[in-house]
Amino acid sequence: MKYFFSTLVTLISILVLSSPAWARGEGGDRGWQAVAGVFANQTSNNNGTTTTTTTETDFHGDLGYDFGTLYIGGTYFNTSTSTAAASTTSTFLTWEGVSVGLVSHNFRLVGTYIASAFGSGGLSNGTGFGGNIAYCFYVSPKVFIAPLVDYYSVTFTSPGPKNTTITQLAPFLSVGIDF
């Protein structure tokens, strides 16, 4: 899988760097695009004797090339959860993948094949699919803010004989740069 991923990144890089739009340094609807989003949530539950507080923080990052309508890139995702009651426990999940999507100046619809994922508790060998949809509000010709809805489903084959699947649908507030 690592050979496939490195070969894919190399081919995309050659394709992008040989593009006339890249050579001319054009902005607008063609060129490199970076998007970073964050989601944070805190909940408290009191059962009469103990108050449990759960804090979740998610980071979503995309880097890819916008060919005008077609977007090809990579995605990195990290989520961490901390639960505090009588004691504090923390969990995390990290994944990365290859993304393909449709983009316009203001609209993004991107699907991701999750090629590698791991998490706390010995979770490893994770693969899956994800996607996001966003509407971009440009605050300058090259910088935008985008409310984004992100979905992913990752299945882990380790540890143990049973598969573990983690699925999430969450809103993000994202900032993006066209360069």
Alpha-carbon distances of 44 from 38, 84, 92, rounded to whole Å: 21, 9, 19
What is the structure's pLDDT at 12? Answer: 53
Cβ-count burial of 59 within 10 angstroms (0-12 exposed, 13-18 middle, 19+ buried)? middle
What is the structure's pLDDT at 24? Answer: 36
What is the structure's pLDDT at 62? Answer: 92
Overall domain count for the chain: 1
pTM higher than 0.85 for the full model? Answer: no
Q: Which domain holds residue 116?
A: 2-178
Q: CATH number of the domain at 157, please.
A: 2.40.160
Distance CA 176, CA 146 (A): 8
pLDDT of the chain, 179 residues: tens digit per residue: 445 555 555 555 555 445 444 443 333 467 899 999 888 888 888 777 778 888 888 898 999 998 988 999 999 999 888 888 767 778 888 999 999 999 887 899 999 999 999 888 788 889 999 999 999 999 998 899 999 999 999 998 877 667 888 888 888 889 999 88
Cβ-count burial of 80 within 10 angstroms (0-12 exposed, 13-18 middle, 19+ buried)? middle
Distance CA 114, CA 168 (A): 14
